Each structure stands twice: as structure tokens, then as C-alpha cells.
Amino acid sequence: MPPDLSPAPVRPPAALLEVRNLRVSFFTPEGVVGAVQNASFAIERGRTLALVGESGSGKSVTAYSLLRLIQPPGRILSGQVLLRSQRVGEVDLGHLDERSGLLFTVRGGVISMIFQEPMVALSPVHTIGSQIDEAILVHQEVSRAAARRRTLEMLHKVGVADPEHRYRQYPHELSGGLRQRVVIAMALVCRPELLIADEPTTALDLTTQAQILGLIKELQREIGCSVLLITHDFGVVAQMADDVAVMHRGEIVERGSVRAVLRNPQHPCTRLLLDALPARRAAAAGRRPDGRALS
Amino acid sequence: MDSPEEPPGGAETPLLQVRGLTKEFPIYAPGWPRRQVGVQRAVDDVSFDLSTGETLGLVGESGCGKSTTVRCLLRAFAPTAGEVRFALPDQRVVDLARLPERELKPLRRHIQMVFQDPFSSLNPRMTVGEIVGEPLVIHRLARGRELEDRVAQVLERVGLKPEHRLRYPHAFSGGQRQRIGIARAIILRPSLLVCDEATSALDVAMQAQVLDLLKELQRDFGLTYLFVAHNLDVVRGFCDRVAVMRRGRIVEEAPTAEIFAAPRHPYTRILLSAVPSPDPDVPLNFRVGEDLARLDATGG
Amino acid sequence: MPETTVPALPAASPTPEPGTLSPWALFWWRFTRHRLAVGSLYLLVVLYVLAAGAEFFAPYSSGWRDLSYAQCPPQLPRFSWREGWHVPVMRLTVDPLTFKKTYYEDEREVIRLGFFVRGQPYRLWGLIAGERHFFGVKRGADAAANGGPPFYFLGADKYGRDIFSRLIHGSRISLSVGLVAIAVTFVLGITIGGVSGYFGGPVDTAIQRVIEIVNAFPQIPLWLAFGAVLPADWPPVSTYFAITLVLSLLGWTGLARVVRGKILTLREEDYAMAARLLGASHARILFRHLLPGFTSHIIVVLTMSVPAMILGETSLSFLGLGLRPPVVSWGVMLQDCLSIQTVASYPWLLMPVVLIVVTVLAFNFLGDGLRDAADPQG
């Protein structure tokens, strides 16, 4: 598959999102914890950046701070989050007023987010359909009927069978995989320029994970958005991302294209994450490196 | 199902023989008073052997019945049918499926379990020392200084510090909590250790560390593992044999290398194709959904 | 990197030795952050100390009266270097046309006040004899207890009884009714809820239906029925216990539900399963693993339901269904406020309402603080 064909001709010189020297700390009763320390990276238009690290390395905090979703006792100390949006122009999200309308336009309109646990994003007391409708109505001036049409179309697109029926269902009536599809529909229905996916498949079965990853890839191609994928699994990175940034204790310790990093990992932490993969462990344990057979 | 590579245990009786294990749950119609309208067969005629010192992986996706299977073995609830023959250290063989709870209790020390969720499996109101020492207290095997010493020993054995026994679980990371859970499970020196998704909640790096620890412990104590996982990839390099479960049945059982090199059952092949490879040139099968549907259509 | 010191996001403990604080210590630590709750706790302690030492703290006994000072308004103590704490003597005038009685302050004569003064003799809890009062009228050594003009801190009622003293004496019943009823509620709630949650099945179903029926009963008519059943000639102590029983017979359902719900959830926790698979006995699982998991919740529920009990006693007594004079409780005192005219002319008769509101609020704030401490995530 040639995913690089479409974004190439229109790619502007500057990256869609550029993070410079981001610092986030948590002011807890027992002291200050520096969760993100001087993180700098860029997300190119139409490409996928994977932010990889162990649990507690600060990758989720980084993602949350892009949308200014850090809750007290956490605080963004310094740093720029430059968004060069086609829709709202160039904004520094790091210094935007907490209550400004622009921030709300960006959240969900220009940058969408999906979480490891789909129920975080879904309200248990509203039907799926009304929640996606709401996501459209908040960001676009369309009639309720038009929003409903868009919702059904989107549900169909994310592979939900019988959208008319699902439209009226509540989140708890769906399986985990289906919920994540609904969340993806909700996140992409406004055609954002950047999708942040925070461990979107960690809680899912392998077969469901493969389907959800495929879905994200497919919709990314269609919408032309960039993806920031947060994960600890280099298998997922290799399959999904173009570029990778490895985080360790709040710092970005290695950056580069996926192929370069996989071929020649520099930082010990990257190597540790790679060597921890079962496939590599099995190979290291002297078993015969197995061909992956799907005849 | 003898593996040509590793025939551990050899000709003597296997540690665990499961035969025709079946568990049915009643299905009730909604409303009250409740009315039973049928049964859900969660485990359907499952049989396998496990020899001493061996590691068997039980792999399947959520809802396939693997957790129900191990909970039947451990008699968290009684199976509907089938036998679970377990060889005690004194060579006696008992059928765990039929034993009354009273006779079962003293035998529980021989089979222990490591849980999936490192957060809910440790009582937040007890110190690590109390948690790890509890098995000894329950079975009245040690008290006072001896208890303290054995707890300190086992904590060191799983890579924690003896002084950690005064802390509460909330002060530990996921990987450390899982080590505490392992310490609690091995302090009684069981012969069989059931690991129910013991590494699923951990990130890749911690997963590898916990697996290494389990391997070490197996070598040192001659443990036998029944390793339940939903990720076929995890069992690679850890299990001697793998049994793949789907819809309550074991669809394929083979030595691990064989499963990965030449899977026979189409479902195993689909599972394997869904493992994301760290090599970008080995593409992931994003169309697993269609493969699964085709499998269902052919009645596999 | 091995997982040595991963900076956990929500910091767990405030001490230099991390992680060794017990959940109880953490609970207390979080509670002390809640200023309003801590303040309420202090206030309640003061109220209960006053109630416990009522004979000592009240200037007069509950039955003491001086009919010549009926409906006397409150007298706020003043301070001067010459007289010390004092109040002017109240004089009564009767309007010759309307016969309306009014009191005026006669500044020429003062009543001197003081702490730890000699007053009416009493027996604290019927045991310890004494005649010193915490606060009251300072008299000459030979003056009789009832000699001289009286001092009404918060005014007098229609029989010339001191409202302040009666409030303190009445708090003994009004405040303790909550605690005694809570004790009964606790026993009923824990046992019934525990049985329901631990055994489950048909037992659980049956108990849940009973709870629903009890909850569906309209309370006031039920109280009326109970009140009618109580014989009027019962001694005060029996009536008192009958009332607490009535209150707790209706109040245990909330606690039972909490206990049942908590046991049902905690039973599903892996650590309960782990204990079972270790071969632990039912008693060990219940008392070592399940109960400690929600003792803080029980405390919260109990604290939150004390106000309902206090209000219940007050309403019953106010309606004349509960305690009757000569017993003093806040509800009994409020029986004087049945007409709007009385309340308009002698607003100090409403003092029990102020105390009830303060007490109920204090219990609610305390409960809020305890709940936040028990459930930091909300």
C-alpha cells in the first residue's frame, strides 16, 4: 500500500504541530514530580508519530498537555505547542487562555483524542447516536437532521453493522471493540487535522486490536489527518507509525523515522523496549526464528 | 501430545490431568422472579495434561472460556462435568472436581494463582508483609520470627527488598505489585502455579521482567505453570506447549515452536496474523475481522 | 531501565518514609485537610461535652422557675472593671391600657456574674454531688440558691424557666438520641446487610424486598401510629428508648444497602478470591479482607444519618408523640412555639431551632469530610 502518495504534493514546509521544550510537573504533597522534561518533537502533516515509552515515562501526560488537559496538581511550566492549522491558523496552544473559545474549537475540532478505555470518552446516560450528533453540533453549524445523517454515515464507515440500530443504543450495551469504534467515529466525524490516540488498543484482544489499528489507518488516509500514537509496544509502532519518539522518565531520548530507529536503536531504553518484545526474546532464547505463516 | 523436544516428566503420571472439563452457567430471563431459560456452556469438554516442570500456555480471546477453565481447576466454582486429576507431592492422585470444600482446603496450598490485575489482587488495607505471609498464617505453617524471616526471604527472591514488607501496596508500581502477588503464590512452595494473564496489565518492558522472574523461579523450585494469556505472542519463548481455546473448546494443542511455525487450525493462523510484528516489512493482517467471519461461515 | 522508582502520578503519602502509612493514617490525613469538617468535629465535641456535664454547665436546673420573670428577654452579659461580668436587673412594667407586659433594664442595680460560682446543688449523672456551676450569678456566701433576681442568658419561657439551662439539659437527650439510635442502626444494618451481601441468592432477594417495603412506608403516619401505641404513663427512660427504637427501625435500611453493596463489590475483588484460593475460612475473608475495606464507609453513613435521627426525635416530640414534659429535649422545648404570636413576641423561644440547625449542619459537614477522606476519587 502506498500511503505516502496523497499528502506529498500539498505538504507545506512546516510541521502541523511542533512541541518545543515542554515541561510539565505535578505538585504533590510529597514534592514536585517532573513528569515531562524539555520534550521537543514535531508531527508532520498526514504522517503518524508514535510516542513510545514504559508506563510512567510521561508519554500520556505529554499528549494531555497538547490539549491543555492537565489537571491540578499538574501544571505546564513552560514550552510551546505550535499548531499550524489550516482551519484556525497558527496558534501556540501552550500559552492559550484556559477559557478561550479558540481552545474549544481546537479540542475536538482540529485535534481529537481517543483513549485506552473508551468509556472515558462516552457518557453512560446518552445514546451513542446523540453523543456523536453532539460532537458535530458543537463544532459545525448544521441542522440536527444533517448531523444525524453524518453520524450514521460515520458509524457505517467505522464498521459498525446496522448503524440505525446502534444509533439508539447506550455504550454499556456494546462490546469493548465496538465501543472503541464508536469513539473513533466520534473523534473523526469533524475531520480533525490531528488525532491523538492514547494506547487505543491496549485493553483489547489481538484480533480486535488489529481491526482497530486497520480502521485508524484507513480513516487517516481518507481524512488526511496526522496521528499521534501513544503506545509501549514496538510491534504496534512498526505497523502504524512513520516516525517515532522514545520517552524515558519525562525526556525524549530518541527520535527518528521508524525504520531507522528499529534498524539501529541508539538509546539503551529503546533497545530495552525492543528486546522485551516476545518475538525478539524468543529469537534471543535460541529458538528458531519462526516465519509468520498465514497461508 | 508428546513434544519431541522436551519430554519433561517422562513416563510418570502427569501432575495434572484434565478430562472432559465442562462448565455451564444458567441463563436467566430478565425480570423478577427469575426464570432460567437455558444454559451457557463456557467450557466445553476440555482435556489436557500437564507434567511436572512443564509450562502450558492456554491462549484465547476474551470470553473464550480460559479464565473459567482455570477457575474450575482451582475450584473457585465447581465444574458441571469432568475430572481434574491432580498428583499430590505424596503421589496420591485426587480428583479436584469432586472433592468437597472441606477436604479441598488443605490441598489448596499445592496449587496457587497469580492474578491479572496487580491493583485489585492485593488487599489495599494490608501491608505487603501481611499479604505475603497470609498463606503461612492460614495454613498455620509459621508464626512470629519464622514468619517474618520467610516473608523477607521470599520478597528478596522475587526482587523486592525485605523492608518493603512494612509498606502498603499503593506505594508500588504495577510490576512490583505483580512481584508481590508472585511472592504470595510461591511462599507455600506449590507444585502448580496458575498465572491468569499475569503479565497482561503490564507494559512490554515489565512484562519481560516478570516473565524472566517466573522462568527463574521455575528453574529453582521446579514449578509447573499453567499460563493463561490472550496474547499468543506472549507465550512465545515462555511456554513449552500451547493450547489455543475458542468458544469453550481447545481447537489446537501443540509444542510452542510448532504452533508458531506451522499452525494447523485456521483460528490459530488468524491469531498469529494479528500479532503486530516489530518488522515494518511484515505487515499486520488488518482484515482479521473478515477472516474470522469466513471461519464462522465454514463452521470452523 | 528496571522499574525502581517510577514517579507515581498521585502521590500517596505525605511522610518521609513513603508507603508505610496505613490506609487509616492516610484517611485521617485527608480528613484533616477538610477545614470545615475538622471545625465541625470540634464544635460537636463541645456540644457533647456540654450535654455530658449539663448539670455543671447549666446555671440552673431544668425545672427551676421564677414565675415573676415569665417571658423575660435574653440578657447579654457586659463587662466593666468595677463590677466584672454583670447584667442589669430586669424590671417588669404593665401598660395600663393594653395590659401588655414589657421588661426594661434597670441600670441602677446589677446582677454580678462569674465563673465557677456556687449555685443550686445538683448530682452529676445522679452520682457526683456538687453546687458549683460553670457560669452564673455571683452571690454572697450566705445567699440562698433562689434568692435575688435571676439571670436569663437566652431569655425565659412562659413559666420563667431559663432557656439556656434547658437547652443544655435538653441537649443530653436530643444529642444522645442520635447516637443510641445509630448504635441500634449499626447492629441491624451490618447484620442484615452483611447476611444479604455475603450469602446472596434468595436470602438477598428476600431482604432487599423487605428493605424496599420499609422504605416505602410513609414516615409521619408510621410515627403517629407508634406514638399512639406508646403508653402515656411510661417513665421517661422507657419512652426515650422506645423512640430510639422507632427511629432506628426505620433508619437501618440505608446502612444495610451500603454494607450489602460493598460486600458484593469487594467479594468480586481479586484479593478476596486470592484469600479463598489460599484456603482462608469464611470468617477470615469477611473480617480480614472484606470488612476493613469499607469501615470508613460505614462511619460516613452513620455520621450522615445522625442528623436524621436528631430531627426525627425533635419532630416526634414537637408533634407531642415522643417525649413529654417534664422531660426536657429540644423537641419538647419547641412545643412552646406552636403559635405564630408566641414566636413573634418572644423569638428567643426558637433558640432550640438554632441549635438543631447548627448540630445538623455540623454532622453533615463532618460526614462530607469523612466521605471525601474515605473516597478520594469521589
CATH code linked to domain C168-374: 1.10.3720.10
pLDDT digits (tens, 9 = 90+) for B104-149: 888 998 999 999 888 889 988 888 999 999 999 998 888 888 999 9
pLDDT confidence of residue B32: 67
Q: Distance between CA C171 and CA C336 in Å, rounded?
A: 17
* Mean pLDDT value across residues C247-252: 80
Backbone angles phi, psi at B125, to 5 degrees: -95, 0
Question: Domain of A272?
Answer: 17-284
Q: Which residue of chain A comes nearest to B209, CA vs CA?
A: A276
Lookup: cell for A162: 446496522
* Mean pLDDT value across residues A218-246: 92
Touching check for A291 and chain B: CB below 8 Å?
yes
Q: Tell me how close the Cα of C210 comes to any Cα of chain B, in angstroms.
A: 15
Q: Is the pLDDT of residue C375 over 70?
A: no
Q: Do C293 and B125 touch (CB under 8 A)?
A: yes
Task: Specify the range with the lowest mean pLDDT, choosing from B256-260, C244-248, C285-289.
Answer: C244-248
* Mean pLDDT value across residues C206-231: 81
Q: Is the pLDDT of residue A239 over 70?
A: yes
* Mean pLDDT value across residues B201-208: 86
Q: Do B204 and A232 touch (CB under 8 A)?
A: yes
Q: Is the pLDDT of residue B78 over 80?
A: yes
> What DSSP element (H or E) covers C243?
helix C236-268
Q: Distance between CA C245 and CA C227 in Å, rounded?
A: 12
pLDDT confidence of residue C350: 82
Any idea of the CA torsion for C335, C340, C345, C347, to the nearest 10 degrees? 60
CA C91 distance to own-chain centroid: 36
**Count helices and strands in chain A by DSSP H and E runs:** 11, 10
Backbone angles phi, psi at B154, to 5 degrees: -70, -30
% of chain C with per-residue pLDDT over 90? 1
CA angle A268, A271, A272 (to 5 degrees): 85
Most confident of B213-222, C260-269, C287-296: B213-222
> The domain that contains A177 carries what CATH number?
3.40.50.300
Residue whose C-alpha is closest to residue B203's, from A252, A231, A213 = A231
Lookup: cell for C303: 455520621
Q: Do B279 and A262 touch (CB under 8 A)?
A: yes
Q: Is the pLDDT of residue C209 over 80?
A: yes
Q: Do A206 and B260 touch (CB under 8 A)?
A: no
pLDDT digits (tens, 9 = 90+) for C128-142: 777 777 777 776 544
Q: Which residue type, as a one-letter code, is found at position C201?
A: G
For C313, left (φ over 0), alpha (ψ -120 to 50), or beta? alpha
Q: What is the reported pTM? A: 0.77
Q: Tell me how close the Cα of B285 comes to any Cα of chain A, in angstroms.
A: 7
pLDDT confidence of residue C141: 47
Tell me which residue in B120, B138, B139 faces C270 most closely, judged by beta carbons.
B120
Instruction: Write the ipTM.
Output: 0.83
Q: Is the pLDDT of residue B9 over 60?
A: no
Q: Do C276 and B117 touch (CB under 8 A)?
A: no
Lookup: cell for C232: 402515656
Residue among B284, B290, B291 with most chain A CBs within 10 A, to mutate: B284
* Mean pLDDT value across residues B187-195: 93
% of chain A with per-residue pLDDT over 70? 91
> What DSSP element (H or E) covers B82?
strand B81-87
pLDDT confidence of residue C142: 44
**Chain A residue numbers touching B208 (CB-CB < 8 A):** 275-276, 281
pLDDT confidence of residue C192: 87
- Residue A192: inside a domain, yes or no? yes
Question: Which of the pair, C99 or B261, is modelled with greater confidence?
Answer: B261
% of chain C with per-residue pLDDT over 70? 91
**Chain A residue numbers touching C9 (CB-CB < 8 A):** 26, 33, 35, 56, 61
* Mean pLDDT value across residues A153-161: 89
Three-state DSSP class for residue C131: strand
* Mean pLDDT value across residues A181-196: 90
pLDDT digits (tens, 9 = 90+) for B88-104: 988 889 998 888 888 88
Q: Distance between CA A192 and CA A188 in Å, rounded?
A: 6
pLDDT confidence of residue C16: 42
Q: Which residues of C touch B (CB under 8 A)?
A: 1-3, 6, 8, 12-13, 18-23, 205, 269-271, 273-280, 284, 288-289, 292-293
pLDDT digits (tens, 9 = 90+) for C103-119: 877 777 777 777 777 77
> Hey, how many other C-beta atoms are within 10 angstroms of the C-beta on C58?
29
DSSP assignment string, A99-126: T-HHHHHIIIIIEEEE-SSGGGTS-TTS
pLDDT confidence of residue B46: 93
- Residue A10: inside a domain, yes or no? no
Q: Is the pLDDT of residue C143 over 60?
A: no
Residue whose C-alpha is closest to residue C290's, from C273, C313, C267 = C267
- Residue A22: inside a domain, yes or no? yes
**Length reported for chain C:** 378
**Chain C residue numbers touching B104 (CB-CB < 8 A):** 279
pLDDT confidence of residue C229: 79
Q: Distance between CA B117 and CA B202 in Å, rounded?
A: 9
pLDDT digits (tens, 9 = 90+) for A115-143: 888 887 888 889 999 999 988 988 888 89
Three-state DSSP class for residue C269: coil
% of chain A with per-residue pLDDT over 90? 32
Q: Is the pLDDT of residue A204 over 80?
A: yes
Q: Distance between CA A249 and CA A54 in Å, rounded?
A: 9
Contact present, B178 and B199 (Cβ < 8 Å): yes
Contact present, C277 and B135 (Cβ < 8 Å): no
CA angle A152, A157, A163 (to 5 degrees): 35
Residue among A30, A232, A269 with most chain C CBs within 10 A, to mutate: A30
Tell me which residue in B122, B138, B172 faces C271 most closely, judged by beta carbons.
B122
**Chain B residue numbers touching C279 (CB-CB < 8 A):** 104-106, 108-109, 138-139
pLDDT digits (tens, 9 = 90+) for B206-265: 888 999 999 999 999 999 999 999 888 888 888 999 999 999 999 999 999 899 999 999
Q: pLDDT band at B177, cuts 50/70/90?
A: very high
Q: Distance between CA B157 and CA B216 in Å, rounded?
A: 10
**Chain B residue numbers touching A217 (CB-CB < 8 A):** 286
Q: Which residues of A76-103 are buried (b: 16+ CB within 10 A; e: fewer)?
A: beebebbbbbeeeeebebbeeeeeeeee
Q: Tell me how close the Cα of C265 comes to any Cα of chain A, in angstroms.
A: 18
pLDDT confidence of residue C144: 46
Touching check for C10 and chain A: CB below 8 Å?
yes
Contact present, A241 and A48 (Cβ < 8 Å): yes
pLDDT digits (tens, 9 = 90+) for A74-112: 888 888 898 988 888 888 888 887 777 888 888 888 999
Task: Specify the range with the lowest mean pLDDT, choosing from A16-25, C39-48, C309-318.
Answer: C309-318
How far CA C243 is from CA of C52, C311, C352, in Å, comes to: 20, 12, 19
Q: Do B276 and A238 touch (CB under 8 A)?
A: yes
Three-state DSSP class for residue B71: helix
Ranges of H-type helices in chain B: 66-73, 101-107, 128-138, 144-157, 174-186, 204-221, 232-235, 256-261, 266-273, 288-297
Supply the mean pLDDT for chain A.
Answer: 84
Domain ranges of chain B: 16-121+191-261, 265-300
Partners of A243 in the β-ladder: A49, A257
Q: pLDDT band at B85, cuts 50/70/90?
A: very high
> 456556687: which residue's cell?
C118
- Residue A151: inside a domain, yes or no? yes
Question: Which of the pair, C73 or B267, is modelled with greater confidence?
Answer: B267
Domain ranges of chain C: 63-161, 168-374
pLDDT confidence of residue C169: 86
Three-state DSSP class for residue B23: strand
Lookup: cell for B282: 511484515
Lookup: cell for C287: 473480617
Task: Give strand ranges (E) for chain A.
Answer: 17-28, 31-43, 48-52, 74-85, 89-92, 111-114, 194-198, 226-231, 243-248, 251-257
Lookup: cell for C373: 477522606
Most confident of A266-270, C51-55, C89-93: A266-270
Lookup: cell for B142: 509459621
**Length reported for chain A:** 295
Task: Specify the range with the lowest mean pLDDT, choosing from A7-16, B103-112, C72-81, C279-288.
Answer: A7-16
Tell me which residue in A159, A206, A259 faces B274 most closely, judged by beta carbons.
A206
Split into its structural domains, chain A has a count of: 1
- Residue A7: inside a domain, yes or no? no
Q: Do A33 and C9 touch (CB under 8 A)?
A: yes
Task: Give strand ranges (E) for C59-127.
Answer: 78-80, 84-94, 101-124
Size of the A and C interface in Cβ pairs below 8 Å: 35
Q: Is the pLDDT of residue C342 over 60?
A: yes
Partners of A227 in the β-ladder: A48, A195
β-strand pairing of A111-114 with C101-124: unpaired
Task: Specify the range with the lowest mean pLDDT, choosing from A238-242, B5-9, C172-176.
Answer: B5-9
Tell me which residue in A208, A274, A287 faces B278 most closely, judged by beta carbons.
A274
β-strand pairing of B224-229 with B55-59: parallel
pLDDT confidence of residue C13: 37
pLDDT confidence of residue C140: 56
Task: Specify the range with the lowest mean pLDDT, choosing from A16-25, C116-125, C325-334.
Answer: C116-125
Window 98-117 of A: residues touching B by CB (8 A cutoff) are none
Q: Do A288 and B257 touch (CB under 8 A)?
A: yes
CATH architecture of B16-121+191-261: 3-Layer(aba) Sandwich (3.40)
